Copies of this chain bind each other. A is one copy, B any other.
Amino acid sequence: MVTSRDVARVAGVAQSTVSYVLSGKRPTSEETRKKVEAAIGQLTYHPNAGARALASRRTRVIGLVIPFIRDLHMNSIMEFISVIATTARSHDYDILLVTEDEGADGIRRVVGQQICDGLILMQVEGEDARVPVVRDLKVPVVLIGIPQDPAGLVCIDADFEMAGRLCVHELSAAGHTRIAVLGWPAEVVKRPINYVNRFLAGVTRAARDCRVGLLELPGGTDRASVARSVRQGVDQTGPVPAFIAPDSGAQELVQQALFSQGLTPGVDVSVIGSTLAVVAERQLVPLTTIDLKPAAVSARAVEILCGLLEAAEYDVNEVLELIPPAIERRASVVGT
Q: Which residues of A contact B (CB under 8 A)?
A: 1, 44, 46-54, 59, 61, 64, 66, 69, 71-72, 74-75, 77-79, 81-82, 85-86, 89, 94-99, 101-102, 106, 109-110, 112-115, 252, 256, 278-279, 284
Neighbour of A48 across the interface among B48, B74, B113, B256, CB < 8 A: B113
**A112 x B50 contact (CB < 8 A):** no
Neighbour of A96 across the interface among B86, B94, B109, CB < 8 A: B94
Neighbour of A113 across the interface among B47, B98, B252, CB < 8 A: B47
Write out the residue numbers on chain B whose beta carbons fall within 8 Å of the beta carbon of A61.
96, 115
Neighbour of A69 across the interface among B47, B74, B79, B110, CB < 8 A: B79
Q: Is the interface of A mostly helix, strand, loop or mixed?
A: helix
**A59 x B50 contact (CB < 8 A):** yes
Neighbour of A54 across the interface among B44, B54, B101, B256, CB < 8 A: B54
**B81 x A114 contact (CB < 8 A):** no
Write out the residue numbers on chain B whose beta carbons fall within 8 Å of the beta carbon of A81.
66, 78, 81, 97
**B48 x A54 contact (CB < 8 A):** yes
**B99 x A86 contact (CB < 8 A):** yes
**A99 x B89 contact (CB < 8 A):** yes
Number of copies: 2
Kindly provide the distance from the CB of A254 to the nearest chain B CB, expressed in whole angstroms: 13
**A99 x B75 contact (CB < 8 A):** no
Neighbour of A97 across the interface among B71, B77, B97, CB < 8 A: B97
A96 CA to B114 CA in the complex, in Å?
A: 14
Instruction: Report the nearest B residue to A52, measured CB to CB.
Output: B50
**B48 x A114 contact (CB < 8 A):** yes
Kindly provide the distance from the CB of A195 to the nearest chain B CB, expressed in whole angstroms: 20
Neighbour of A252 across the interface among B82, B85, B252, CB < 8 A: B252
**A113 x B66 contact (CB < 8 A):** no
For this complex, 14 residue pairs linking A to B, each with C-beta atoms less than 8 Å apart, are A46-B114, A49-B114, A50-B59, A61-B115, A74-B78, A74-B79, A75-B75, A85-B99, A89-B99, A89-B102, A95-B96, A95-B97, A96-B96, A252-B252
**A112 x B75 contact (CB < 8 A):** no
Which 4 residue pairs of A and B lie closest in terms of their CB atoms, listed nearest first?
A: A46-B112, A50-B53, A74-B78, A50-B54
Write out the residue numbers on chain B whose beta carbons fall within 8 Å of the beta carbon of A50.
49-54, 59, 114
